[in-house]
Amino acid sequence: MASLFLIRNDDPRFAEAALGEARAVLGEQGFPEPTELALPGWTLLHAGHIIAGPTSLLQRGDDLVAIAGTLVADGKMGEAALAALLAMDPLALDWDRLGGQFVALVRRNGQNFLFGDYFSAFQLFHDTGDRVFATTFLAAARALPRLSFDAQGVYELAFNVMPVGDDTVFEQLKTLSPNSVVELTATGTVRHSIAKPLPAAPSHNALPDRIARHRDRLLAIVGAHVDALDGHVRAPLSGGLDSRLVLAALRARGCDPHLYVYGVPGDEDVVIAQHIGAELGFPIEWLDKEDGVVPPDAFPDLVARNFHQFDGLPTFGNIFDNGTNGAAQLARHADGALAVSGGCGEIYRNFFYLPDRRFTAHDIAQTFFARFTPADATDRFDPRGFIDAIAGKIAASLAPPDATGKLARNRVEQIYPRIRCRALFGREISLEARFSPYLMPFLDHRVVAEAMTLPMPLKYAGRFEAALLNAIDPVLAAQPSAYGHDFTGPPNLAHRRTEWLTRIRPVWLRRHTYALRRRLGAMGDEHGGTLTPDYMSRVIDLDFPAMRRFFNPSAINDSAVWRRIANLEYLAAKLGSRVVG
């Protein structure tokens, strides 16, 4: 991603200590030696990609632009993209010319501005006093002398994988809002509000015209990334729809990517991906992330490496595996390749599985984010307050300037990219793009904007997404899928019925679905981990001294929740005396 770290230097002792911690974190994570630059009132550290990537720092006299992440401007990467961004007014950016997920520092005409991509998917952490800004979570955390866990952020991570909105797991750290540009002055900061609109109503285009618009937009964005990296691309393939649509776009732009699939032997994704490769004549690399055993005595060193490689808090909290997850990440970025993801492809589908009618922000919070059972938590957890807080973040994320009352159905669709994708896939992007460029085309704001114009019936059971795939690559669309049908025609009855049964479930019932499932027995997820006491006692205190204030670990029979709480316990121990509550 490259990395940005900025520290206000009005307190020299604080600034010197923070810079020392930042340099240490960047070294531990494998970044090259950072460049240090002085700005009025601030010091900047900028480091390039861990493995390789396009130029991410450009200086022209007193002006400069430094980025972390993957920036495309006018269809270009590297120096040409930086020059194009430098020529723009940071308070009036032409977003039609910009793509990718990134954080940028622009010094122009004596003024310094700091901002993120359209959704602020690429994370920029800052303290509540605006003294520290960093794209690396551990650098931001270790720069501060005192940290305390934020109950809402902790519960959101444990129950829903990542905190949403601008929150983190610490009270003193936030992420920069997508609607803010920070001006760095000699004496502090000035926040400038900017609008990031999305279409709020479906369009009335005929289906052929609609498909043509989506195809052209997607291929242009994918093509700009592919061309900049000379077709050096690594991409996943599974039994689903999203990765196949990305592959279709790559093939349409003349790219023959290195393809891989993750899964255990006999897994449906593995079987289907290998079948497609055999039928169409291209190799598929297969990685079984559960294949391999680490000796217990070697586990602490492995977890420590994972902790640094995944910047303390990976998605799903999995630093406790057998090492294959970290090895797979490095392989995706080998030799500075463009790593590609089909994440956020549900912009084309009915992600919340809700019927085509109006809903409140509170309805969405109950429908999707009530993945908890109160017995897992201590009395610090207020179920109603937890849902209310998430509903407030959902409402605040929607323009103009927030949402009250019942929302039109297409406005509800904006919650997926603005809230869920920003939190989950934003963390993924922030971790992956540190090694080499990363492409998640379905979270590019221009692709998202087109998807927001789809009428809901076209989203049901992936109807439109399949038609788009078939229009781009009918040969690939004709291959079998995990849905029990190919993508050359409409979804079959079984697929439509399965989605319909979910869609008709009322909100009040969905709020209790997770708790009901927990009563039926132990749960987990596909991210696994080596979680037995023989291993975990070597890396955390199983009495959970930090997390016991928030959770009852012995009551938790969902290994995914337990793993994420263990990740927080490990984080607290690593940060040591900084964490005071």
Q: Give which of 489, 491, 488 is closest to 477, Cα–Cα.
A: 488
Q: Which of 137-151, 300-314, 504-518 has the lowest mean pLDDT?
A: 504-518
pLDDT of 1 higher than 70: no
Q: Return the pLDDT at 422.
A: 97
For residue 310, the SS3 value is: coil
Q: Return the pLDDT at 581.
A: 75
More confident residue, 432 or 507: 432
Token pair 């290998």 in the structure block, residue: 274
Q: Return the pLDDT at 528.
A: 79
Segment 499-510 shows an average pLDDT of: 88
Whole-number Å distance between alpha carbons of 98 and 51: 24
pLDDT of 399 higher than 80: no
Whole-number Å distance between alpha carbons of 213 and 210: 5
For residue 127, the SS3 value is: strand
291-349 per-position pLDDT tens digit: 888 999 999 999 999 999 999 999 999 999 999 999 999 999 999 999 999 999 999 99
Question: Sorting pLDDT into bands at 50, 70 and 90, what band is 401?
Answer: low
Q: Which of 153-167, 278-292, 342-356 has the lowest mean pLDDT?
A: 278-292
Give φ, ψ of 236 to 5 degrees: -90, 160
Segment 424-441 shows an average pLDDT of: 97
Q: Return the pLDDT at 62.
A: 95
Q: What's the full length of the chain, in residues?
A: 581
Say if residues 117 and 101 touch (Cβ distance below 8 Å).
yes
Segment 515-536 shows an average pLDDT of: 89
Number of C-beta neighbours around residue 36 at 10 A: 12
For the chain, percent of residues with pLDDT exceeding 90: 91
* C-alpha dihedral sign at 428, 433, 439, 444: positive
Q: Return the pLDDT at 529.
A: 85
Q: Return the pLDDT at 64.
A: 97
In a 13 Å sphere around the CA of 402, the CA atoms on its Cβ side amount to: 8
For residue 337, the SS3 value is: coil
| SS3 per residue for 362-386 | HHHHHHHCCCCCHHHECCCCCHHHH
Q: Which amino acid is at 142?
A: R
In a 13 Å sphere around the CA of 286, the CA atoms on its Cβ side amount to: 18
Whole-number Å distance between alpha carbons of 517 and 412: 27
Residue 71 tokens read as 């920036």
Whole-number Å distance between alpha carbons of 252 and 250: 5
For the chain, percent of residues with pLDDT exceeding 70: 99
Token pair 């010091």 in the structure block, residue: 43
Residue 75 tokens read as 């269809």
Token pair 């869609």 in the structure block, residue: 503
Say if residues 184 and 131 touch (Cβ distance below 8 Å).
no
Whole-number Å distance between alpha carbons of 248 and 468: 10
pLDDT of 539 higher than 70: yes
Query: Which strands make up the sheet holding 438-439, listed edge to edge?
Result: 284-287, 258-262, 233-236, 338-340, 438-439
71-115 per-position pLDDT tens digit: 999 999 999 999 999 999 999 999 999 999 999 999 999 999 999
Say if residues 49 and 2 touch (Cβ distance below 8 Å).
yes
What does DSSP say about strands 338-340 and 438-439: parallel, antiparallel, or unpaired?
A: parallel
Number of C-beta neighbours around residue 210 at 10 A: 20
Question: Sorting pLDDT into bands at 50, 70 and 90, what band is 400?
Answer: low
Q: Which amino acid is at 135?
A: T
Q: Which residues are within 8 A (CB) of 227 and not within 5 positions of it... i.e. 6 or more apart?
A: 75, 253
Q: What is the pTM of this model?
A: 0.96
Q: What is the DSSP string of 70-119?
A: EEEETTB-HHHHHHHHHTS-TTS--GGGEEEEEEEEEEETTEEEEEE-TT
Q: What is the DSSP string of 37-60?
A: EEETTEEEEEE--SS--S--EEEE
Mean pLDDT for the chain overall: 95
For residue 236, the SS3 value is: strand
Q: What residues pair up with 60 in beta bridges, in sequence order? A: 63
* C-alpha dihedral sign at 10, 12, 18, 22: positive
Q: Which residues of 281-315 are buried (b: 16+ CB within 10 A; e: fewer)?
A: eeebbbbebeeeebeeeebeebbeebbbbbbbbbb
Give φ, ψ of 70 to 5 degrees: -125, 105
Say if residues 65 and 58 touch (Cβ distance below 8 Å).
yes
Whole-number Å distance between alpha carbons of 462 and 239: 14
Q: At what angle do helices 361-368 and 383-397 cross, to 10 degrees?
A: 120
Whole-number Å distance between alpha carbons of 3 and 467: 39
